[in-house]
């Protein structure tokens, strides 16, 4: 999978270099995450993502085809909700780089619809796993939180596939919904993987 991702990045760089000056658009993106883990027993939790993105038109492939790139700070994770007795929240922050191929259809000068898909690579930066509730208070533990990455904790690296669709206004503003499927275990030998639903608002400079 890592070799496939590297090949996509190399191909993307080669293609974008051909017409970058004429077809490159830069912008900022921000939005909400609803993330979870793939195995049962966990509940979704709300997070966020924010960062920069770029689109590179690929008319040499076909009109409407483009490369979608990004660099995002994203909060994912999941929780176990035990009510007032005890709850556990996993709050991993990642630097995530999606590399998608997309197609955009211009309905008119001011409105377009688009969709894109491709891999993403993420590196865990920091985060905490936190336990709260009446049982924790009764135990009077010294600390109820611990680093979410590290030995016997979550894997710092993630690799997966993403899918996104949305609308564009005035060739400047975008509203999109997307979903990421993690392909690597986020906890060793658990079979557990990241899942993330995203709602995004983007603006090109």
pLDDT digits (tens, 9 = 90+) for 96-131: 999 999 999 999 999 999 999 999 999 999 999 888
Beta partners for 50?
Answer: 30, 73
Contacts of 81 (CB under 8 A, 6+ apart): 43, 87
**pLDDT, position 187:** 87
Banded model confidence at residue 4, pLDDT cuts 50, 70, 90: very low
* Bridge-based pairing state of the strands 157-169 and 111-132: antiparallel
Q: For residue 160, what is the domain's CATH number?
A: 2.40.160.20
Considering its fold, how many domains does the chain have in total? 1
Confidence band for 86, pLDDT divided at 50, 70 and 90 = confident
Identify the domain containing residue 144 by its residue range. 2-204
Q: Where are the beta strands (DSSP E) in the chain?
A: 24-37, 45-57, 65-75, 78-82, 86-108, 111-132, 145-147, 157-169, 173-182, 194-204
pLDDT in tens, 63-77: 999 999 999 999 999
Q: What angle do CA 160, 130, 32 make, to 5 degrees?
A: 45
């Amino acid at each position: 999978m890592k070799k496939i991702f590297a090949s996509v990045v190399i191909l993307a760089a080669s293609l974008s270099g051909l017409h970058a000056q004429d077809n490159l658009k830069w912008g900022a993106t921000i939005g909400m995450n609803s993330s979870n883990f793939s195995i049962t027993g966990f509940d979704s939790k709300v997070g966020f993502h924010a960062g920069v993105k770029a689109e590179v038109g690929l008319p040499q492939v076909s009109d409407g085809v483009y490369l979608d790139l990004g660099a995002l700070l994203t909060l994912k994770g999941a929780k176990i909700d035990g009510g007032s007795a005890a709850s556990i929240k996993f709050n991993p922050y990642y630097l995530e780089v999606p590399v998608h191929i997309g197609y955009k259809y211009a309905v008119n000068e001011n409105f377009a619809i688009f969709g894109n898909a491709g891999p993403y690579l993420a590196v865990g930066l920091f985060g905490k796993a936190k336990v709260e509730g009446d049982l924790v208070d009764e135990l009077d533990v010294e600390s109820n939180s611990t680093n979410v990455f590290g030995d016997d904790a979550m894997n710092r690296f993630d690799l997966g596939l993403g899918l996104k669709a949305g609308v564009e206004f005035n060739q400047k503003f975008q509203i999109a919904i997307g979903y990421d499927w993690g392909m690597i275990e986020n906890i060793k030998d658990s079979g557990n993987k990241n899942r993330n639903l995203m709602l995004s608002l983007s603006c090109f400079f």
